[in-house]
A and B are shown apart, each in its own frame.
Chain A
Amino acid sequence: METSSVIQVKKLNLYYGKFQALKDVNMEIGKQEVTALIGPSGCGKSTFLRTLNRLNDLIDSVQIEGDVSIDGNNIYDKSCDVVALRKKVGMVFQKPNPFPKTIYENVAYGPRVHGVKERKKLNAIVEKSLREAALWEEVKDDLSRSALRLSGGQQQRLCIARVLAVGPDVVLMDEPTSALDPIATQKIEDLIRELKEKFTIVIVTHNMQQAARVSDSTAFFLNGEVLEMGQTEIMFTRPLDQRTEDYITGKFG
C-alpha cells in the first residue's frame, strides 16, 4: 500500500545549545496516514514533532540543520511564511490547553486570527469543526460556556476542533491522551481514525497499544536517532532491530 508522502525530512540535525537532540533524522510521512513516533522519554520525538510546525523557533538556543519539506516546500527556507505553515500544520498538545474563553471563542480563535470576521461564516466553521472533533452534540446547547468547565477529554477534543477550524492538512499530536482517562482516550483514538480520512496525522505516544491501534506507520526514536521506521503491523510483529523489540515489549523505556 504505497501512498504519496506529504512530509520529507532529510538529514535533520537539531541542537539545544551544545546538546544534539536530533541526529541525522530522515523520514517520509505519508499523506492521510497516521504516523506514530515512539521511544523513551528524552529521545527527541517531541522535539522532532515541533520541528514540523517550527514551534522550536520559540526557544532561543535552538539550532537546526537539514531539510524539512512539506508539499515540496522547504519550511526552513528563508522565504517560508511561518504563519501560513502553522495554518497548514496544526498541533494538539499533551495537556489540553483551552484558552480561558468560551467554547465558541476557542474554536473561532484561529479563523479570527486569519481574518474571518463575518459572524455567519464563523458560526459555520465553529459547528463544522466541533462536529469533526465529535464534540458538537455535547456542547451545542451552550457554546457560550467557559471552555475551562469542560472535562479533560472534552477539552482535548475542543483543542482538536480549534486546530481543525483553521483548515490544516497535517495535524501534529503530542501525547494527546496522556492526561486523560481510558474512556476519554478511546474517544480520541476513535476520532483519530476518522480524521485520517481527511488529514495527515503525526502522533507522539508513550503508549505502545495506542501506537499499534491507531497508526499506519511507526518510527522508533532512540537518543535522537530514528532507529527504525516502517509499517506499524510489521514493526510490532517483526522488528528489525533488537532494541526496537526490547522497547516495544517493555524491556526498557
Chain B
Amino acid sequence: MRKLQLFSAHGGLETDDLRRKGHPSLVEGIAFALLRLSMLLVIAAIFFIFFDIFSKGIGIISWEFITAMPRRGMTEGGIWPAVLGTVYITLITAAASVPVGVFAAIYLNEYARKNIFTRIIRLSIRNLAGVPSIVYGLFGVALFVRALELGTSLLSAGLTLGLLTLPVTITASEEALKAVPDSFREGALALGATKWQAIRTNVIPSALPGIITGMILGISRAAGETAPILFTGAAFYLASLPSSLSSRFMALPYHLFIMSTQHHSIEKVRPIAYGTALVLIGLVVTMNMSAIILRAHYRKKMRG
C-alpha cells in the first residue's frame, strides 16, 4: 500500500492508510437513531394533542360559537365574552410589558457597565422567568388589587400578566441587541453620532425583528395563562361584556378550566370545553405564526 504522507515535512501527522479503526460508524448510527427518536416523540406528542382537540372541538366551532354570549348556565351558546376578555387582557399585557421590557433591555445591554451589580440584575431576571405563575398571581393580588386599590379588574390582571411576561421580553430583547455587531455601534459613533443616536438609528432597527419575535412569543404565552388572572380579575361567569379597565372579565384559559373541571354538568359541556381549547390554541398559534412571518419579512428587508 502506498504510504500517505500528510504534513510529514513538518514532522506532523503520518498515517498508513485511510481505513477507519474501530466502529465509529456503528456509534454514529446509534446516536442518530436516538436523536431521530427524540424528535419523533416530540412531534408525535404535539400531533396527538392537536389532533385530539381538533377532532373533538371542530364540531362545535361556528361563527355563532365565537361571537355569541353563553346561555343557560353556560351549557349552550358561545364564548364571546371569553374571547373578548382574552383579547383585551393581551393588549393590556403588551402595553405594560413591551415598553418597559425593551427599555430595560436597552439599558442593560447598551448603557449599564459590566460589573457584579448588573450581573446580579441579569441573574435575577433569568430567575424571575422561572417563578411559577401562581406566585405572580398572588403578587398581583397583593400589589395591584390591594395595595394600589385597582380591585379585581382587567387592569390588575393585565398588569400581573405584564409582570409575568417582563423577564421573557427583557431577555429576548437583550439577546436581539447582543446579536447586533459592535461595528454598527462603533461605525455610527465614529461618525460623531451620540450613543442614543447610534442606538436609535442603527442598533434598534437591526435588532427589531428579534425584539418583535420575543415580544409576541412572550405575550402569546401570557394569553394562555390562568393562574395569574385567577385572583386578579377573571370571573367565572358574567352576564355582560367588560365596559372599562376596572371591569371584571371572562378569559379563554379560565373558561376552559371551569368548563372542564368546575361546571355542574361537565359531561354536557364537554364539546364547549374542547371548542374553547381549540379557539385558544388557534389564537396562540396565530400570534406565533405572525411572529415568524414578521421576522422573515424584516430579515429580507435587512438583506435588501
Contact = CB atoms under 8 A, between A and B. Distances in A.
Interface of A: 53, 55, 58, 60, 83-87, 90-91, 93, 95, 97, 99-100, 102, 109-110, 112-114, 145-149, 159, 162-163, 166
Interface stretch (B131-139, B189-197, B260-268): B189-197
Interface string B54-70: 00000000000000000
Nearest to B115: A60
Nearest to A172: B190
Given A60-B113, A146-B304, A97 B201 contact: no
Size bracket of the B interface:
20 to 34
A137 to B, nearest CB: 21
B129 interface: no
B197 A97 contact: no
Given A55-B189, A166-B191, 4 more contacts: A55-B186, A86-B189, A100-B206, A113-B188
Contact of B184 (A55, A83, A97, A113): A97
B202 A90 contact: no
Interface of B: 113-114, 181, 183-194, 197, 201-202, 205-206, 302-304
A114 B192 contact: yes
A100 B186 contact: no
A97 B183 contact: yes
27 contacts: A60-B114, A83-B192, A83-B193, A83-B194, A84-B192, A85-B192, A86-B190, A86-B192, A87-B192, A90-B190, A90-B191, A93-B190, A95-B183, A97-B187, A99-B202, A100-B205, A100-B302, A100-B303, A109-B188, A109-B193, A110-B191, A114-B192, A145-B304, A147-B304, A149-B304, A163-B190, A166-B191
Contacts of A86: 189-192
Nearest to A53: B190
A93 B201 contact: no
Contacts of A110: 191-193
Given A95-B183, A100-B206, A109-B201, A146 B190 contact: no
A44 B181 CA distance: 23
B179 to A, nearest CB: 12
Nearest to A103: B304
B191 A102 contact: no
Nearest to A57: B189
A148 B192 contact: no
A166 B191 CA distance: 7
B192 A93 contact: no
B203 to A, nearest CB: 10
Contacts of B181: 97
B186 A58 contact: yes
B303 A146 contact: yes
Closest 4 A/B residue pairs (Cβ):
A146-B304, A97-B183, A87-B192, A110-B191
Nearest to B113: A60
A99 B302 contact: no
Nearest to A149: B304
A113 B190 contact: no
A83 B205 CA distance: 22
Nearest to A111: B191
A98 to B, nearest CB: 8
Contacts of B303: 100, 146, 148
B113 A113 contact: no
Nearest to A105: B201
B191 A100 contact: no
B2 to A, nearest CB: 38
Contacts of B189: 55, 58, 86
Contacts of A159: 187
Contact of B304 (A60, A100, A114): A100
A11 B185 CA distance: 30
A126 to B, nearest CB: 14
A109 B197 CA distance: 10
A110 B113 CA distance: 27
Contacts of A93: 183, 186-187, 190
Contacts of A113: 188, 191-193, 197, 201
A152 to B, nearest CB: 14
Nearest to B180: A100
A166 B114 CA distance: 32
A108 B202 CA distance: 13
A145 B304 CA distance: 7
Contacts of A95: 183
A198 to B, nearest CB: 18
A162 B304 CA distance: 19
A176 B191 CA distance: 16
